[in-house]
Chain A
Amino acid sequence: MKKIAENRLPELYQALSAERKLYLPLEEGGVVGYGLYSPEKKTALTAPSTVKSPKELFFPQVEGVVNFQMQGKNIDILPIEMPKEDFVVMGVRACDVRSFDVLDRVFLSDPVDGYYAARREHGTIVSLACDQPQNSCFCEAFGIDAAAPAGDVRCFIREGVLYWQALTDKGQALTDSLFGLLEEAGPAGQEQQEAFTAETKEKLQALPYHGLDLSAFTPDRLGELFHDPKWKKLSQACLGCGSCTFVCPTCQCYDVRDFDTGHGIQRYRCWDSCMYSDFTMMAHGTPRPTQLEKFRQRFMHKLVYFPSNNEGMYSCVGCGRCVRKCPIHMHIVKVIKALGGKKDE
């Protein structure tokens, strides 16, 4: 384990960004989001959360797929190059690190999504353990240890010192490249880690959503959950906006669109939301005509369909972003509690 004093973090950022791009939480306009580091930016590494998750660094909201160039009546197809730049994402919390396991299951299984795969290959994740979980957090329900996130490198900050531990080869390589900047933490590091873990555990246990029970969401109850009459009430206030989807670290739906530039077509993909009225719109209309079906789809997918196909892995990581951002406060925890309560009856 290595360490560096918190007040020397700018040096670390400089070093990390010297060879490759560095993304980390930045504060702009009163909100925190992942952004490209440069010295004049206001970093917010220890902010409890970001509005959008780091998902967009691997799966951007808008991404070119192919271009068509028109010259008179000729059309040339111009493929878009795969991403090949190395980059580091720093400050990824445990929940968000887990989200990449979920996304990997989608994008790295056959057929592999080349763009995502390339970015995963070139990206190194430096995670940061939580020391101030929020009231809206419930990662614990998914077996995530907020104090010990995965990633290529794991960090935690205690008593003004950032501790740094490489977990993978990629992480080790990154660590090696920082030669001279990081000091050895020694056995004290281990002690600090234990203390940190204990403190965080205590905080986690005090959270309002501690003990959230997901046991009702099992594949065998798919039909029962699908037909539950409670969906109607739960969904009726839903505005059909995409704020939950777009802040979600695991939502992975996208739409493919063409933009006519006047000189050709740019085909791109962009995030889509199952809450939108035109989601999966087809010639005959949409298979989910009302907000009830759209709403149900989102939560059934996260809590039932996805685990059914992925050895029980939920496609929710309990980051609490949707809990915080839903304009009408109707979110996954309310859904879990409303539907999960049924098994006892």
Chain B
Amino acid sequence: MQRIGVFVCWCGSNIAGPVDVERVAEAMKSVPGVVHSTTYQYMCSEVGQSRIMEAIKEHQLTGVVVCSCSPRMHENTFRKTAQRAGLNPYMVEIANIREQCSWIHKDKEVGTQKAIVLAKAAVAKVMLNTPLQAGTSPVIKRALVIGGGIAGIQTALDIADAGYEVDIVEKSPTIGGRMAQLDKTFPTLDCSACILTPKMVDAAQNEKIDIISYAQVEKVSGFVGNFTVTIRKKARFVDELKCTGCGACMEKCPSKKGKNEFNMGLNNRTAIYIPFAQAIPNVAVIDPEQCLKLKTGKCGLCERVCSAGAINYKQEDEVFERQYGAIVAATGFKPIDLDAFDEYGYSQSKDVVTSLEFERIMNAAGPTGGQLVRPSDGKHPHEIVFIQCVGSRDTSGCGKPYCSKICCMYTAKHAMLVRDKYPDVNVHVFYIDVRTPGKNFDEFYRRAVEQYGVDYIKGMVGKVFPEGDKLIVQGSDLINGKQLALQADMVVLAAAIEPDPSARKLATMLTASMDTNDFFTEAHPKLRPVESPTAGVFLSGVCQGPKDIPETVAQAGAAASKVIGLLAKDHLVTNPCVAQSNELLCNGCSQCERVCPYGAISYVEKEIRGPGVREVRRVAQVNPAVCQGCGACTVTCPSGAMDLQGFSNLQIMAEVDAICK
């Protein structure tokens, strides 16, 4: 039988003014289960708390109800008070008779009556409370960063800098990501490679960082602090430890028809290749689709020229497991496919390129050696038209409904760079809106217009079609009320960006949620923007939403700091108010698993023993370290097997009963 003590706080005159606290305390004395009921001016004060502690000891209380301010204010205070007196902290309930009563009801009789009802409801609940223990779970002090672009690199560097080990899993043969492909960066126009490659080198040289390139995450199990991840490292057919990156193999390789991914397929590469000069790891990789030796068994030239003896045609995929305390998704983006936008002639003319292709064309290490020439005939262009919002802000179903955010700025950058290097080239930009919210962004855009004479045209292009060796760009100029038909030598499309397709699969493995555009969702859009709702999973870079480099780096650092905060703990203290499955009642139907936003529920085949029962059943298990206690599962469960500790079905119904009495 429970022995409940009720402590009614005056809160000075805050409560005692509009509520007759003595009458409340008196009324509670006749409630079954209540063995002690008293009042005090300030329950939360030192003296008030010690009165509670004394009463717990003197009356051997098993539960405490404090009638006071909102539990959001002092629930923790009184829980600690109870704990100091040797009572389980979860045997405390608060009746909110200030915010919900004394502060809103002026009539003393009304306020007093309501306070009594609220106190009775709290007693009814605490009668059914059970002592709860906050559990702990150990934290493995190692982080995994998935994706080796600038987001992943920055996150890894920051985590390593704090002294924790971190692995980067990158699916391509080198880290660097999209930023490595860029020529210059806005709004400062510093060279992308110049600022990125030192970071890549830092990451490679940092002994806390292990770069696992040409690899993919295959499976994730476990939970915050204790993930087990299966990683598949694809066969490179080159021994990473032996290869010196000298490039002799590339010179001799007879198969030269592979599309150069780094240059967006604008030129070709050999079957054995190093993606680019500053690749990290600077190790060759054989493309098995192109390699004659692997395809036909005949060739082996690279093996012969490799003085390090690094070539190994028999290499196989390597699959291994590692343990991590935290996982960061930094899977980045890609430009969308332009199949649905054929009006822009992308498939009809080589001289219609995407902005990312244009980056490569402008880049000194690119396919044209940095010379601005038309891909079709290598001629110098005189008229270039840029088209913005290609597939962005598109709700017709062909493109993406969101703004890709970076296009306005990089288009201004491209326009400016062209005009700067080739003043003879006329540059036109079709835009819907120019969006430049960012430090020095609008100044940058205005500079393109005012200083560099870029022709910004408010309107969209309806179609682009080749005519002779020119491209006709037909679009509207809304400001001048004209339909234009420009003759252009090149057209550059600011294609929308979308999350990398690998993210969807990863989200499933991580039980991390995604929005309808396949961007990872945050735990809270404002307050927890770098955490996924799944505990222990963090978000870095464009995988969470479109952003530019400074934003990405900032978010990468923020994600790192969240990871560091997690790894700094030896144990995680878990909230004991979590869901619990009664295995005797569980049907194993998986409905609860489907609504759990945290992936806290898993299923096991288990021998169930109960009165008259002994059989193997599929039953739900809640991982208390992962569950956040929302209770979505409890309502989904028709048999009532799933219940929430601290807010159990019976507790809530007891409150309902007490209130409605």
Contacts and interface: CB of A to CB of B under 8 A. Distances in A.
Task: Judge A-B direct contact (beta carbons within 8 Å).
Answer: yes
A266 to B, nearest CB: 14
B261 interface: no
Given A262-B657, A262-B660, A263-B661, A284 B31 contact: no
B611 A284 contact: yes
Contacts of B612: 285-286, 289
Contact of B31 (A72, A260, A285, A286): A72
Interface string A305-337: 000000000000000000000000000000000
Contact of B611 (A73, A260, A263, A285): A285
Contact of A72 (B30, B610, B657, B660): B30
Nearest to B657: A262
Interface string A259-272: 01011000000000
A285 B611 CA distance: 4
B369 interface: no
A70 B32 contact: yes
Nearest to A285: B611
A275 to B, nearest CB: 16
Interface string B246-271: 00000000000000000000000000
Q: Which of B31, B32, B612, B661 has most A Cβ within 10 Å? A: B612
B517 to A, nearest CB: 49
B244 to A, nearest CB: 74
Contacts of B660: 262
Contacts of A289: 612
A262 B661 contact: yes
Contacts of B613: 285
B595 to A, nearest CB: 28
A263 B657 CA distance: 10
A286 B611 CA distance: 7
Contacts, number: 21
A286 B610 CA distance: 11
Contacts of A283: 611
Interface in A100-133: none
A33 B116 CA distance: 48
Contacts of B611: 283-286
- Give the size range of A's interface with the partner: 10 to 19
A266 B32 CA distance: 18
A269 B54 CA distance: 46
A96 to B, nearest CB: 36
Nearest to B611: A285
A73 B612 CA distance: 38
Interface string B334-363: 000000000000000000000000000000
A260 B127 CA distance: 16
A16 to B, nearest CB: 43
A70 B610 CA distance: 35
Given A285-B612, A289-B612, A73 B32 contact: yes
Interface residues of B, number: 10
A207 B611 CA distance: 46
Interface string A272-294: 00000000000111100100000
Nearest to A277: B612
A262 B655 CA distance: 11
A73 B30 CA distance: 6
Contacts of B661: 262-263
Interface in B31-62: 31-32
Contacts of A73: 30-32
A235 B97 CA distance: 59
A263 B32 CA distance: 12
B321 to A, nearest CB: 43
Contacts of A285: 610-613
Contacts of B32: 70, 72-73
A74 to B, nearest CB: 9
A289 B612 CA distance: 6
Nearest to A286: B612
Contacts of A70: 32
Interface string B605-641: 0000011110000000000000000000000000000
Contacts of B610: 285
A311 B657 CA distance: 52
Nearest to A288: B612
A184 B261 CA distance: 112
Nearest to B610: A285
A262 B611 CA distance: 31
B640 to A, nearest CB: 15
Question: Residue among B30, B31, B611, B660 with the most chain A CB within 10 A?
Answer: B611
Interface in B17-31: 30-31
Contacts of A284: 611
Interface string A142-162: 000000000000000000000
Nearest to B658: A262
A154 to B, nearest CB: 48
B591 to A, nearest CB: 22
Contacts of B30: 72-73
Nearest to A289: B612
Interface string A69-106: 01011000000000000000000000000000000000
A262 B31 CA distance: 12
B658 to A, nearest CB: 8
B194 to A, nearest CB: 75
A285 B613 CA distance: 9
A283 B30 CA distance: 33
B313 to A, nearest CB: 63
Interface in B581-617: 610-613
B127 to A, nearest CB: 13
A25 B543 CA distance: 72
A262 B124 CA distance: 11
Contacts of A262: 657, 660-661
A258 B79 CA distance: 35
B3 to A, nearest CB: 13
A286 B657 CA distance: 32
A70 B658 CA distance: 14
A289 B613 CA distance: 8
Contacts of A260: 657
A174 B31 CA distance: 54
Interface string A4-46: 0000000000000000000000000000000000000000000
A181 B612 CA distance: 62
A296 B31 CA distance: 49
Interface in A162-178: none
Nearest to A260: B657
Interface string A41-74: 0000000000000000000000000000010110
Contacts of A72: 30-32
A75 to B, nearest CB: 9
Interface string A196-229: 0000000000000000000000000000000000
A283 B660 CA distance: 33
B508 to A, nearest CB: 39
Nearest to A72: B30
Nearest to B30: A72
Interface in B79-120: none
Contacts of A263: 661
Nearest to A290: B612
B641 to A, nearest CB: 16
A72 B34 CA distance: 10
Interface of B: 30-32, 610-613, 657, 660-661
17 contacts: A70-B32, A72-B30, A72-B32, A73-B30, A73-B31, A73-B32, A260-B657, A262-B657, A262-B660, A262-B661, A283-B611, A284-B611, A285-B610, A285-B611, A285-B612, A286-B611, A289-B612
Smallest CB-CB A-B distances: 10 pairs: A285-B611, A72-B30, A285-B612, A289-B612, A262-B661, A73-B32, A262-B657, A286-B612, A73-B30, A284-B611
Given A72-B31, A284-B611, A286-B611, 16 more contacts: A70-B32, A72-B30, A72-B32, A73-B30, A73-B32, A260-B657, A262-B657, A262-B660, A262-B661, A263-B661, A283-B611, A285-B610, A285-B611, A285-B612, A285-B613, A289-B612
